[in-house]
Protein backbone atom coordinates (compact mmCIF):
# COMPACT_ATOMS: atom_id res chain seq x y z
CA UNK A 1 0.00 0.00 0.00
CA UNK A 2 1.48 3.34 -0.94
CA UNK A 3 1.70 6.44 1.24
CA UNK A 4 -1.38 8.12 -0.22
CA UNK A 5 -3.48 5.03 0.46
CA UNK A 6 -2.27 4.89 4.03
CA UNK A 7 -3.20 8.55 4.51
CA UNK A 8 -6.68 7.89 3.11
CA UNK A 9 -7.17 4.92 5.40
CA UNK A 10 -5.53 6.58 8.38
CA UNK A 11 -7.47 8.13 11.19
CA UNK A 12 -10.75 6.27 10.68
CA UNK A 13 -10.03 3.48 13.13
CA UNK A 14 -7.56 2.49 15.81
CA UNK A 15 -4.38 0.84 14.57
CA UNK A 16 -3.45 -2.21 16.61
CA UNK A 17 -0.18 -4.13 16.72
CA UNK A 18 -2.09 -7.39 16.50
CA UNK A 19 -3.28 -6.74 12.95
CA UNK A 20 -0.74 -4.18 11.77
CA UNK A 21 -3.29 -2.11 9.81
CA UNK A 22 -6.67 -0.68 10.70
CA UNK A 23 -8.07 2.65 9.52
CA UNK A 24 -11.05 2.70 7.21
CA UNK A 25 -10.75 -1.00 6.42
CA UNK A 26 -9.40 -2.27 9.73
CA UNK A 27 -7.71 -5.04 7.80
CA UNK A 28 -6.93 -8.18 9.74
CA UNK A 29 -4.45 -9.57 7.23
CA UNK A 30 -1.60 -10.11 9.67
CA UNK A 31 1.49 -11.58 8.09
CA UNK A 32 2.12 -15.27 8.50
CA UNK A 33 1.22 -18.64 7.09
CA UNK A 34 -2.14 -18.89 5.37
CA UNK A 35 -4.63 -21.23 7.03
CA UNK A 36 -5.32 -24.58 5.47
CA UNK A 37 -7.98 -24.59 2.76
CA UNK A 38 -10.33 -26.68 4.85
CA UNK A 39 -10.04 -24.17 7.69
CA UNK A 40 -10.86 -21.30 5.38
CA UNK A 41 -13.98 -23.04 4.14
CA UNK A 42 -15.15 -23.69 7.68
CA UNK A 43 -14.46 -20.11 8.68
CA UNK A 44 -16.76 -18.90 5.92
CA UNK A 45 -19.68 -20.45 7.77
CA UNK A 46 -18.64 -19.18 11.20
CA UNK A 47 -19.40 -15.84 12.81
CA UNK A 48 -16.73 -13.21 12.33
CA UNK A 49 -14.38 -12.83 15.28
CA UNK A 50 -14.88 -9.17 16.24
CA UNK A 51 -15.35 -7.19 19.44
CA UNK A 52 -18.79 -7.12 21.05
CA UNK A 53 -21.20 -4.43 19.90
CA UNK A 54 -24.49 -3.23 21.34
CA UNK A 55 -27.26 -2.23 18.87
CA UNK A 56 -28.58 1.32 18.84
CA UNK A 57 -32.16 -0.08 19.07
CA UNK A 58 -33.77 2.29 16.62
CA UNK A 59 -34.16 2.48 12.88
CA UNK A 60 -31.74 4.79 11.11
CA UNK A 61 -32.59 6.21 7.70
CA UNK A 62 -30.51 7.52 4.83
CA UNK A 63 -29.84 11.18 5.60
CA UNK A 64 -29.87 10.77 9.39
CA UNK A 65 -27.08 12.23 11.50
CA UNK A 66 -25.79 11.78 15.02
CA UNK A 67 -23.98 9.56 17.48
CA UNK A 68 -26.01 6.45 16.57
CA UNK A 69 -25.00 6.72 12.92
CA UNK A 70 -21.40 7.16 13.99
CA UNK A 71 -21.56 3.97 16.08
CA UNK A 72 -22.83 2.01 13.08
CA UNK A 73 -20.10 3.50 10.90
CA UNK A 74 -17.51 2.41 13.42
CA UNK A 75 -18.95 -1.10 13.47
CA UNK A 76 -18.99 -1.39 9.69
CA UNK A 77 -15.43 -0.13 9.73
CA UNK A 78 -14.45 -2.90 12.16
CA UNK A 79 -16.00 -5.49 9.85
CA UNK A 80 -13.96 -4.41 6.77
CA UNK A 81 -16.68 -2.41 5.02
CA UNK A 82 -15.91 1.17 3.98
CA UNK A 83 -18.48 3.69 5.29
CA UNK A 84 -16.38 6.72 4.39
CA UNK A 85 -15.48 9.24 7.08
CA UNK A 86 -16.64 8.29 10.58
CA UNK A 87 -18.61 11.51 10.90
CA UNK A 88 -22.11 10.52 12.04
CA UNK A 89 -23.67 11.29 8.65
CA UNK A 90 -25.66 8.55 6.92
CA UNK A 91 -24.62 9.64 3.44
CA UNK A 92 -23.83 7.83 0.17
CA UNK A 93 -20.56 6.28 1.33
CA UNK A 94 -22.18 4.78 4.42
CA UNK A 95 -25.17 3.64 2.37
CA UNK A 96 -22.89 1.68 0.06
CA UNK A 97 -21.33 -0.02 3.10
CA UNK A 98 -24.82 -0.81 4.40
CA UNK A 99 -25.73 -2.40 1.07
CA UNK A 100 -22.54 -4.47 1.07
CA UNK A 101 -23.14 -5.64 4.63
CA UNK A 102 -26.72 -6.65 3.87
CA UNK A 103 -25.61 -8.52 0.75
CA UNK A 104 -22.94 -10.41 2.70
CA UNK A 105 -25.35 -11.27 5.52
CA UNK A 106 -28.20 -12.37 3.25
CA UNK A 107 -30.48 -9.55 4.41
CA UNK A 108 -33.16 -7.98 2.26
CA UNK A 109 -32.09 -5.20 -0.09
CA UNK A 110 -35.67 -4.43 -1.10
CA UNK A 111 -37.86 -1.69 0.29
CA UNK A 112 -35.71 -1.30 3.41
CA UNK A 113 -32.35 -1.27 1.59
CA UNK A 114 -31.61 2.29 2.69
CA UNK A 115 -32.41 1.68 6.36
CA UNK A 116 -30.51 0.30 9.31
CA UNK A 117 -33.21 -1.55 11.19
CA UNK A 118 -33.75 -4.44 13.58
CA UNK A 119 -32.44 -7.26 11.39
CA UNK A 120 -29.34 -5.40 10.32
CA UNK A 121 -28.58 -4.38 13.90
CA UNK A 122 -28.94 -7.98 14.99
CA UNK A 123 -26.52 -9.01 12.24
CA UNK A 124 -24.09 -6.30 13.34
CA UNK A 125 -24.08 -7.91 16.80
CA UNK A 126 -23.43 -11.39 15.36
CA UNK A 127 -21.93 -10.81 11.90
CA UNK A 128 -20.97 -13.60 9.57
CA UNK A 129 -18.04 -13.56 7.20
CA UNK A 130 -18.85 -13.47 3.49
CA UNK A 131 -19.10 -16.89 1.92
CA UNK A 132 -15.75 -17.98 0.52
CA UNK A 133 -16.07 -18.65 -3.22
CA UNK A 134 -12.59 -20.06 -3.88
CA UNK A 135 -11.16 -21.65 -0.70
CA UNK A 136 -8.02 -22.70 -2.58
CA UNK A 137 -7.78 -19.58 -4.69
CA UNK A 138 -4.72 -18.18 -2.95
CA UNK A 139 -4.22 -16.26 0.26
CA UNK A 140 -4.37 -12.92 -1.57
CA UNK A 141 -7.21 -12.64 -4.07
CA UNK A 142 -10.38 -10.86 -5.14
CA UNK A 143 -13.71 -12.68 -5.24
CA UNK A 144 -16.76 -11.24 -7.01
CA UNK A 145 -20.18 -12.79 -6.42
CA UNK A 146 -22.60 -11.77 -9.14
CA UNK A 147 -25.61 -13.31 -7.35
CA UNK A 148 -24.84 -11.10 -4.32
CA UNK A 149 -23.33 -8.14 -6.23
CA UNK A 150 -20.47 -8.26 -3.75
CA UNK A 151 -16.67 -7.99 -3.97
CA UNK A 152 -14.31 -9.25 -1.27
CA UNK A 153 -10.59 -8.46 -1.31
CA UNK A 154 -8.64 -11.03 0.73
CA UNK A 155 -5.26 -10.63 2.31
CA UNK A 156 -3.75 -13.69 4.03
CA UNK A 157 -7.10 -15.46 3.55
CA UNK A 158 -8.97 -12.82 5.57
CA UNK A 159 -11.37 -10.16 4.28
CA UNK A 160 -9.51 -6.89 3.84
CA UNK A 161 -12.21 -4.93 2.04
CA UNK A 162 -15.86 -5.81 1.31
CA UNK A 163 -17.66 -3.70 -1.27
CA UNK A 164 -20.98 -3.58 -3.07
CA UNK A 165 -20.59 -3.76 -6.86
CA UNK A 166 -22.74 -3.81 -9.99
CA UNK A 167 -21.90 -6.34 -12.71
CA UNK A 168 -23.17 -7.07 -16.22
CA UNK A 169 -26.84 -6.27 -16.77
CA UNK A 170 -27.50 -8.87 -19.44
CA UNK A 171 -29.91 -6.53 -21.23
CA UNK A 172 -29.96 -2.73 -21.16
CA UNK A 173 -32.78 -0.51 -22.35
CA UNK A 174 -32.09 0.68 -25.86
CA UNK A 175 -28.75 -1.16 -25.99
CA UNK A 176 -29.82 -4.76 -26.50
CA UNK A 177 -28.63 -7.85 -24.64
CA UNK A 178 -25.41 -9.74 -24.11
CA UNK A 179 -23.91 -7.33 -21.57
CA UNK A 180 -22.49 -10.00 -19.28
CA UNK A 181 -19.61 -10.15 -16.83
CA UNK A 182 -17.80 -13.35 -17.82
CA UNK A 183 -17.43 -15.75 -14.88
CA UNK A 184 -14.07 -17.39 -14.43
CA UNK A 185 -10.59 -17.16 -12.96
CA UNK A 186 -8.44 -14.20 -13.96
CA UNK A 187 -5.50 -12.07 -12.92
CA UNK A 188 -5.14 -8.32 -12.98
CA UNK A 189 -3.43 -7.23 -16.20
CA UNK A 190 -3.00 -3.50 -15.76
CA UNK A 191 -4.16 -0.26 -14.22
CA UNK A 192 -4.88 3.18 -15.66
CA UNK A 193 -5.35 6.22 -13.42
CA UNK A 194 -8.24 8.66 -13.46
CA UNK A 195 -11.16 8.72 -15.88
CA UNK A 196 -10.37 6.50 -18.86
CA UNK A 197 -12.39 6.83 -22.06
CA UNK A 198 -13.50 3.52 -23.59
CA UNK A 199 -15.93 2.79 -26.46
CA UNK A 200 -18.87 2.34 -24.08
CA UNK A 201 -18.17 5.32 -21.81
CA UNK A 202 -15.71 6.06 -19.02
CA UNK A 203 -14.04 4.05 -16.28
CA UNK A 204 -12.52 5.54 -13.14
CA UNK A 205 -9.20 4.06 -12.00
CA UNK A 206 -9.76 0.75 -13.82
CA UNK A 207 -7.93 -2.41 -12.75
CA UNK A 208 -8.22 -4.62 -15.84
CA UNK A 209 -8.65 -8.38 -15.82
CA UNK A 210 -9.33 -9.06 -19.54
CA UNK A 211 -7.24 -6.97 -21.93
CA UNK A 212 -8.36 -3.33 -21.92
CA UNK A 213 -12.02 -4.37 -22.09
CA UNK A 214 -13.10 -5.73 -18.72
CA UNK A 215 -12.10 -4.10 -15.45
CA UNK A 216 -12.98 -3.47 -11.85
CA UNK A 217 -13.50 0.26 -11.89
CA UNK A 218 -15.17 3.18 -10.22
CA UNK A 219 -18.39 4.91 -11.23
CA UNK A 220 -20.44 7.75 -9.80
CA UNK A 221 -22.64 6.44 -6.99
CA UNK A 222 -25.80 6.64 -9.10
CA UNK A 223 -24.23 4.22 -11.58
CA UNK A 224 -23.65 1.45 -9.01
CA UNK A 225 -27.23 0.43 -8.15
CA UNK A 226 -28.33 -2.62 -6.18
CA UNK A 227 -28.86 -4.62 -9.36
CA UNK A 228 -26.61 -5.63 -12.29
CA UNK A 229 -26.34 -2.58 -14.54
CA UNK A 230 -22.96 -2.58 -16.29
CA UNK A 231 -21.87 -3.47 -19.83
CA UNK A 232 -19.79 -6.32 -18.39
CA UNK A 233 -17.27 -4.70 -16.08
CA UNK A 234 -17.39 -4.81 -12.30
CA UNK A 235 -18.45 -1.34 -11.15
CA UNK A 236 -17.62 -0.22 -7.64
CA UNK A 237 -18.49 3.00 -5.75
CA UNK A 238 -16.38 6.00 -6.67
CA UNK A 239 -15.14 6.58 -3.11
CA UNK A 240 -13.72 3.05 -2.92
CA UNK A 241 -12.23 3.24 -6.41
CA UNK A 242 -10.17 6.25 -5.32
CA UNK A 243 -7.91 3.90 -3.34
CA UNK A 244 -8.77 0.34 -4.46
CA UNK A 245 -5.96 0.27 -7.03
CA UNK A 246 -3.46 1.02 -4.25
CA UNK A 247 -4.49 -2.17 -2.46
CA UNK A 248 -3.85 -4.58 -5.33
CA UNK A 249 -0.97 -5.14 -7.74
CA UNK A 250 -1.63 -3.89 -11.25
CA UNK A 251 -0.53 -7.24 -12.62
CA UNK A 252 -0.98 -10.70 -11.19
CA UNK A 253 -3.71 -10.28 -8.56
CA UNK A 254 -5.97 -13.33 -8.59
CA UNK A 255 -9.56 -12.41 -9.48
CA UNK A 256 -12.40 -14.92 -9.31
CA UNK A 257 -15.83 -14.06 -10.67
CA UNK A 258 -18.85 -16.24 -9.98
CA UNK A 259 -21.67 -15.98 -12.52
CA UNK A 260 -25.38 -15.43 -12.08
CA UNK A 261 -26.24 -18.90 -13.36
CA UNK A 262 -25.76 -21.90 -11.00
CA UNK A 263 -22.35 -23.51 -11.41
CA UNK A 264 -20.71 -20.57 -13.15
Average pLDDT, integer, range 172-181: 92
Q: pLDDT tens across 42-92, in order?
A: 333 446 667 788 888 999 999 999 999 999 999 999 999 999 999 999 999
Average pLDDT, integer, range 175-198: 95
pLDDT of residue 27: 35
Average pLDDT, integer, range 132-159: 97
Strands (DSSP E) found in 165-233? 170-172, 176-179, 184-191, 195-198, 201-210, 214-219
Q: pLDDT tens across 10-47, in order?
A: 333 332 222 233 334 433 333 333 333 333 333 334 46
pLDDT of 260 strictly over 80? no
Q: Which residues contact 243 (CB under 8 A, 6 or more apart)?
A: 4, 5, 8, 9
What whole-number percentage of the chain has pLDDT above 70?
A: 80
pLDDT of residue 32: 33
pLDDT of residue 61: 97
User: Domains in the chain, please, with CATH?
Assistant: 48-129 (1.10.101.10), 141-258 (2.40.440.10)
Using CA atoms, how far apart are residues 166 and 148, in angstroms rounded to an integer? 9
Average pLDDT, integer, range 194-204: 91
Using CA atoms, how far apart are residues 116 and 119, in angstroms rounded to an integer? 8
Quote the Cα angle for 186-155-121, to 5°. 110
Q: Is 140 helix (H, G, I), strand (E, B) or coil?
A: coil
Judging by DSSP bridges, how do beta strands 234-237 and 214-219 pair with one another? parallel
pTM: 0.82
Cβ atoms 245, 205 nearer than 8 A: yes
Using CA atoms, how far apart are residues 200 and 223, in angstroms rounded to an integer? 14
Cβ atoms 212, 190 nearer than 8 A: yes
Average pLDDT, integer, range 241-255: 97
Using CA atoms, how far apart are residues 59 and 62, in angstroms rounded to an integer? 10
Average pLDDT, integer, range 98-125: 95
pLDDT of residue 9: 45
pLDDT of 4 strictly over 80? no
Torsion of Cα atoms, 137 then 95 then 7 then 18, to 10°? -50
Report which of 193, 201, 192, 196 is spatially closest to residue 232, judged by C-alpha positions: 201
Using CA atoms, how far apart are residues 1 and 218, in angstroms rounded to an integer? 19
Ramachandran category for residue 171: left, alpha or beta (phi over 0 → left; psi -120 to 50 → alpha)? beta
pLDDT of residue 21: 31
pLDDT of residue 19: 29
Average pLDDT, integer, range 94-110: 95
Report which of 59, 74, 65 is spatially closest to residue 117, judged by C-alpha positions: 59
Amino acid sequence: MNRSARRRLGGLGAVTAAVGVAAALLAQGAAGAAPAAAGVSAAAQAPASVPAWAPVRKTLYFGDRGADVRRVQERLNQLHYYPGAIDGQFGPDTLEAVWAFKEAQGLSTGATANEIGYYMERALVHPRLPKVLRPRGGANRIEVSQPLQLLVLYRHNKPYLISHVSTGAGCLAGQGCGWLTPPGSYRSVGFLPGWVQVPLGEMYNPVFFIGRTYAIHGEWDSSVPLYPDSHGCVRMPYDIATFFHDLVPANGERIYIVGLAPGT
